Amino acid sequence: MEGRCASLRLSFRPGAWRGYPKKMITIYQKKIAINALKDEAEARKIVEWLKREINDAWENRDSITPSFEAMPQPKLMEILKLLPKTNCRECKEPTCLVFATRVVEGAKGPESCPALTSENRKKLEDYLGGFDLNI
C-alpha cells in the first residue's frame, strides 16, 4: 500500500509562471501528482521548480517554523454565483457548476470562461487572488 507523505496545494501568481494555471500538487512516497498538465514539458518544468523548492526548504530547515494549519480554499458557491450560469460549454466543461469545481481545484481560471462579464471576471480574479501563496 502506498503511503501518502505530504499534500501540498500550490497557487502560482500570474507572472511568476506566465501562462500556467494554478496547480494542485500532491507528493507521495514514490510519485508526484499534478493536476491539469498540458504536456510532458510542463510537467518537467514544474518538477524542476519543485526540486528547487524542496532543496531550498531543506537547506533552510533550521530557520523555518512549520505551519500545521490547513490552507483556506475557494468556496464553490462563491465562484458559481459570479458565473453566467448559462451552461454554454464554451469553457469545455459540461456545466457552470463543473467549471466552478475545476476552478476550486485550480485547474481552470476566470480566463477559461469567455462568457464572463468584465466586472465578474475582475471580481473572480480578486476573490481567487486571496488564496495565492505568493510563490
Binding site for ligand SF4 (CB under 6 A): 83-84, 86-91, 93, 96, 99, 113-115
Residue type, 38: K
Q: Distance between CA atoms of 58 and 70, rounded to whole angstroms?
A: 21
| Distance, CA of 49 to CA of 54 (rounded, Å) | 9
Q: Please say which residue, 25 or 96, places its beta carbon nearer to ligand SF4.
A: 96
Q: How far is the CB of 121 from ligand SF4 (least distance, A)?
A: 10
Give the three-class secondary structure for 26.
strand
Name the residue nearer to ligand SF4 (CB basis): 24 or 115. Answer: 115
Least distance in angstroms from the C-beta of 63 to ligand SF4: 43
